Structure 1
């Protein structure tokens, strides 16, 4: 199940965001060894203060199992201001119809293997579909994503391969980082859906998930 949290509704879903930031800390600091700012177990950076949109995947119990952040490229963003070395001296691409996708991660500890629901493969593809459909429906034509070789391979295996790359990969922590371009077309979305066998609407209202989380905390 996919939920979109943005500037219009983020104040209503602080618990969901809190769990998302904790997942990011486990993935980007603990697993990948990136130099990220983690406080109180949560990875939050200055770009989270710029009212990005978050596409968040939750499991049947309402726990965050995947997430990705979407941010406009017309202002500050990671490729321009943090990962500029990837550009090999070229200026960053800026466009109202090109958004940056970063902090793509999946909770491999909570999810199982295989392709069934609540597996890593299913959650990864569902997040890709949700992110692409959110982007397309928001008038975004292309996505630039700062990612690593593992996620790049996941994109290719899911029939969601980037159509181009910007600059060259550079070492970041334990892995290399690279900048890839994806178009937000119906054709790309359908390829991922066919690969994963996901043909239903992946989106669910946050009001459907938050009560489950609150009930578990109360218990």
Structure 2
């Protein structure tokens, strides 16, 4: 099942994010040998401070088995700011309808013992589940395309899963120990259909936020009165600084989501103590 974590609800899921960063460290640093920053066993970079969306795949016990990070191309992103050599001097994509998919990883050590590739705790299933979620999440937001910096191995994985890029930007470029390339993928019903057919995944892959908070949300972290007051103060500042109706609606949505989450926490906490 997939939980989408963003700047609005991240305070509920710090535990899942910590698991995600630990998985990224094991995959990108320990297994692949990428030159990434790892501190206390967690792999993070400055893009994680920009309130990206992280799609997290969890099993029934709440263990993170895979994840992907989504960044807007209208702001800082890895292709434009880190892997720009791939573009061979061409400008990076910049559009609200194009997102960047990064840091796709799966816990192969945990999942490799599964026999059937279509089993829910298999590598193939979790990879396809994340890809379906990313495509559907993007379409819901009006996004038409995604760009992803990948290596040749991931390019082969995408092709095998029915999720091959329809085009590439620039040229494959040596980056340290790996070769990096930039693929373009359309976010479309056709792509989702291919992914679902090959993986035999039917139904909604997302766990709705209310259930996600109740089952896997942090029970005490970031939900103290002091933390909630700080978040409310920040959101009030966003309301006051809104310069147009779009910014005002966004700030109101953030405040509404906070109130919903606070009420759910108080209800759950009260039930626990009754």
TM range (shorter): over 0.9
Matched, 1:128 2:131: yes
How far apart, in 2, do the equivalents of 1:164 and 1:208 lie? 41
Shift of 1:175: 2.6
Q: Secondary structure of 2:11's match?
A: helix
**Residue 140 (structure 1) aligns with:** 143
Report the structure, 1 or 2, having the larger strand content: 1
- List alignment gaps of at least 5 residues for structure 2: 221-274
Aligned to 2:23: 23
- Report deviation, 1:184: 0.5
Q: Which position in structure 2 is the counterpart of 1:217? A: none
Shift of 1:124: 0.6
Higher relative contact order (CA closer than 8 Å, sequence separation 6+)? 1
Instruction: Indicate yes or no: 2:216 matched with 1:210.
Output: yes
Q: Which runs of 4+ in 1 moved over 3 A?
A: 211-214
Partner of 1:109: 109
8 Å Cα contact 1:135-1:184 kept in structure 2: yes
| CA distance 1:43–1:158, shift in 2 (3 Å) | same
Deviations, residues 144-183 of structure 1 (Å, cap 9, x unaligned): 0011112111111111110000111122343311110001
| 8 Å contact from structure 1 (residues 159, 195) kept in 2 | yes
Q: Distance in 2 between matches of 1:174 and 1:204?
A: 37
Distance 1:84 1:183, change over 3 A: same
Within the candidate set 147, 150, 155, 2:153 is matched to 150
CA–CA distance in structure 1, aligned partners of residues 124 and 177 of structure 2: 23
Partners of 1:212 and 1:39 lie apart in 2 by 22
SS of structure 1 residue aligned to 2:94: coil
The answer for the alignment partner of 2:191 in structure 1 is 188
Higher helix share: 2
1:208: Cα distance to partner? 4.8
Tell me how far 1:63 sits from its aligned partner.
0.6
Q: 1:38 aligns to what?
A: 38
Distance 1:127 1:149 in 2: 19
CA distance in 2, matches of 1:173, 1:59: 34
- Measured in 1, the distance between the counterparts of 2:187 and 2:44 equals 27
| TM-score normalised over the length of structure 2 | 0.75
- Local SS of the residue matching 2:202: coil
Judged with a 3 Å threshold, the aligned counterparts in structure 2 of structure 1 residues 14 and 98 are, in CA distance, closer, same or farther, namely same
More displaced stretch, 131-140 vs 106-115: 106-115
Equivalenced residue count is 214
- Give SS of 1:204's match: coil
Quote the RMSD (CA, aligned, Å): 1.6
- Structure 1 residue runs of 5 or longer lacking an equivalent are 215-219
TM-score (structure 1 length as normaliser): 0.93
Secondary structure at 2:110 match in 1: coil
Q: Cα distance 1:68–1:98, how it changes in 2: closer, same or farther (>3 A)? A: same
Residue equivalent to 1:65: 65
CA distance in 2: counterparts of 1:211 and 1:136, whole angstroms: 26
Q: Do residues 53 (structure 1) and 56 (structure 2) align?
A: no
